[in-house]
Chains A and B, each alone.
Chain A
Amino acid sequence: SQQGEEDPQALSIQEGENATMNCSYKTSINNLQWYRQNSGRGLVHLILIRSNEREKHSGRLRVTLDTSKKSSSLLITASRAADTASYFCAEAGGTSYGKLTFGQGTILTVHP
């Protein structure tokens, strides 16, 4: 299976600014998920949005999903230095239950 693409590959912002990351995917999905990875560590699940949802919020995170364009975006509001990490989207395909296909990730750097 092909991996989705994330844009931008790297993002550098100042504390307090908002960070937006975009993800395009290939298949018909059941849901799309976002994960965070601190340098060299395991991934941590952030948020899941189902194919019949268009927007979802969790704390400072806002995820949108446009199934017609096969795209999703992750917005982190009022960023903090501790948000510095890599962020990955992962598509859960409609016929591949339990399997995730990860994008290549966006490296976010938040400067204090």
Chain B
Amino acid sequence: DVKVTQSSRYLVKRTGEKVFLECVQDMDHENMFWYRQDPGLGLRLIYFSYDVKMKEKGDIPEGYSVSREKKERFSLILESASTNQTSMYLCASSSRQGGLETQYFGPGTRLLVL
């Protein structure tokens, strides 16, 4: 069974804190993605990575950075959290053969920034 796990289901942080969201996949997938999900806006792509140490900006990268030091792990970093980053964050992965569309999603991390 394919598995994408995210380090936390719920997080509460204060404005200005540095926040790390971790995502791990056990499928040996090359591609990994971070989205945020907001009511009425669907999913919006923050960053993605095609390989270790590679990263590409998505549609809304401002205020975020990422790290991919190992193939199975893709981290999303909020350098200085702000209240407008309160959201649900979803990680996904896919194989190069499968194409970008065959993405497998983790359960999500609901982040509240106070």
* Bind each other: no
Q: Which residues of B contact A (CB under 8 A)?
A: none
